[in-house]
Amino acid sequence: MNNKVKPAEGNLGILVVGLGAVTSTFMTGVLMARKGLTKPVGSMVEYDKIRVGKGEDAKYLSYREIAPIAELKDIVFGAWDVYPANAYQSAIYAEVLKEKDIEPVREELEKIVPMKAAFDVNYAKRLNGENIMEGATRWDMVEQLRKDIRDFKAKNNCERIVVAWAASTEIYVPYCKEVHGTLESLEKAMKANDRQHIAPSMCYAYAALCEGAPFVMGAPNTTVDIPAMWELAEKTGMPIAGKDFKTGQTLVKSGFAPIISTRCLGLNGWFSTNILGNRDGLVLDEPDNFRTKEVSKLSTLESILDCDKQPDLYNDYYHKVRINYYPPRNDNKEGWDNIDIFGWMGYPMQIKINFLCRDSILAAPLLLDLCLLSDLVLRAGRSGIQRFLSFYLKSPMYDFTKGEIPVNHLFQQYTMLKNALREMGGYEADEEID
C-alpha cells in the first residue's frame, strides 16, 4: 500500500446540505450497516474489487485493501436544511424506507438536527421552510457556514470534514465570466450580495473549501464547475467533485449509449421522460429549476455519440428530456426511454427501456462513495477537479476554458476510477481509455 497517502485516523465528519429523502436514507443505511443490520448494497467502496498487477502478480483487491479509506464506524453525520425536522423525522416523512428499517437507529438519527440553511427562496420557489438564516447576505452566509463547519468539527472531535450537496436543484445560473471567471471577482460579487450570479450553493462550496473540506456537488447546480472555484480549490489544496448524482435514467443512458456507438449503429432520436413525486420532483416542477436539470441530462449523449467522429451515424439526432411531478409515486420514480436507431442500409429499429427505480436507494451509495473517496483524495494530497469521480455523476466537470471534453461513457469512467485508486494505492495505472 502507498504510504504517501495519510492514514484515515479519527472521525470523519460528513456534512450534507439537505436532510431530505436521499440524505436520511443514506444516513439510516450507514448506521444500520455498521450495526450489522443491513448491507450497503450499491456501494463500490464496500463491494467492488479491482485488479492490481499483471500476469502472475495480478490480484483482485477491495478498495480498502488498495488504499486507506475511512471505515463506516468512524463517520459522524451533520446537515443543513430549510426544515427543522431531525434525521429520524425526515426518514419517516420521506417514506423511502419501512419503519422497521429506521427504528433500530432511531436514537442516533434523532440526534442529527439540521443547522440553519443558507437559503434564497428565489432559487427554489417551491420550498418554504423556516429553518433558514434570516436576512443573510451572500457573505453573511459564507461566514456563518464556515462557523458551522468549525463548530461541528470541534464538537464531534472530527479529524476531517467532507461537505456534500444533496439538496434540491437550484434555478439555472448561466456562467458569467465577469463574475465566475476568477476567485477575486467571485469574492467581490459575494461581498456585494450579488444574488443574481451567486447561488446559495456557491456559498456552501466556498465555505467548505476555505475550511479545509472537500466539496461534492450532487445536483446539477452551477456551483463548483466554474473557474473561480477551481482557483479556490487549488489555492486551498482541496478536491472538488460534481455534478448531479447519476442514479436512474442517466445511468442507463451512459451505459446503453456505448452499445450503440461500439456497434456502429446510427441514432435518429432519444426521448426520455420521468415521473417523480418526492420533494425533488416538486422543485423540478418549476420551469427555472427544471432547466438546470435538463442541461445536465442532455449533456450525456454528446460525448458518447459524437457527430464529429461519426457524422453518418450521429449527425442530426433528436434528444429530448422530460421530468413530470407526480405525487403518488413519491420517491419511486419511473423512467421511459424511446430510442430510434438505424442499421444496415438505413433501416430503422427501436429500443424501449422502462426503469422503475427508487431514487434515494440508488443515490445513497453514491453519496457514501463520493464522500469516502473525496476524503481519500484529500489525504493523498490531490486537489481541484477529481475527474475520476465522474463515474458517479450525470454531468462531469471539465475545464471548458481549455476545450476539454467530458467523459460520459460509463465504462471509460470506470477505467478512470480504477486507475486513480491504483495510483493512490501505489500500483501502476495500467488501463487506457481509447
pLDDT in tens, 52-83: 999 999 999 999 999 999 999 999 999 999 99
Task: Round to whole Å and give the CA distance between 323 and 239.
Answer: 31
| pLDDT, tens digit (0-9, with 9 covering 90-100), for 142-152 | 999 999 999 99
Mean pLDDT score, 208-226: 97
Q: At what angle do helices 410-424 and 249-262 cross, to 10 degrees?
A: 100
Q: Where in the chain is the domain with CATH 3.40.50.720?
A: 11-245+360-424
Task: Round to whole Å and give the CA distance between 42 and 330.
Answer: 21
Task: Round to whole Å and give the CA distance between 14 and 159.
Answer: 11
Mean pLDDT score, 38-53: 97
Task: Round to whole Å and give the CA distance between 58 and 74.
Answer: 31
Q: How many CA atoms lie within 13 A of 259 on its CB side?
A: 8
| pLDDT, tens digit (0-9, with 9 covering 90-100), for 348-387 | 999 999 999 999 999 999 999 999 999 999 999 999 999 9
pLDDT score of 370 = 98
- Which residues, 6+ apart, have CB-to-CB distance to 311 below 8 Å? none
Using 50, 70 and 90 to split pLDDT, how confident is the model at 420?
Answer: very high
Backbone phi, psi, residue 322, to 5°: -135, 145
Average pLDDT, whole number, for the chain?
Answer: 94
pLDDT score of 291 = 75
Question: Out of 3.30.360.10, 3.40.640.10, 3.40.50.12780, 3.40.50.1220, which CATH number does the structure's domain 249-356 have?
Answer: 3.30.360.10
Mean pLDDT score, 172-191: 97
pLDDT score of 310 = 95
- Residue 298 CB-density burial (10 A; 0-12 exposed, 13-18 middle, 19+ buried): middle
The answer to whether the beta carbons of residues 98 and 28 sit under 8 Å apart is: no
Residue 397 pLDDT > 50: yes
pLDDT score of 1 = 47
pTM, two decimal places: 0.93
The answer to whether the beta carbons of residues 255 and 410 sit under 8 Å apart is: yes
The answer to whether the beta carbons of residues 209 and 233 sit under 8 Å apart is: yes
Fold classification of 11-245+360-424 (topology level):
Rossmann fold (3.40.50)
- The beta-strand segments (E) located in 57-195 are 59-62, 75-81, 115-116, 158-165
Residue environment code for 74-87, b if the CB has 16+ CB neighbours within 10 A, otherwise e: bbbbbbbbbbebbb
Q: What is the dihedral of CA 256, 260, 261, 267, to 10 degrees?
A: -120
Nearest to 304 by CA among 255, 376, 370: 255
SS in 3 state form for 226-271?
CHHHHHHHHHHCCEEEECCECCCHHHHHHHHHHHHHHCCCEEEEEE
| pLDDT, tens digit (0-9, with 9 covering 90-100), for 268-312 | 999 999 888 877 777 777 777 777 767 766 678 888 998 999 999
- Which residues, 6+ apart, have CB-to-CB distance to 134 below 8 Å? none
Q: Where in the chain is the domain with CATH 3.30.360.10?
A: 249-356
Distance of CA 209 to the CA centre of its chain: 17
In the chain, helix, strand, coil percent, each to 5?
45, 20, 35
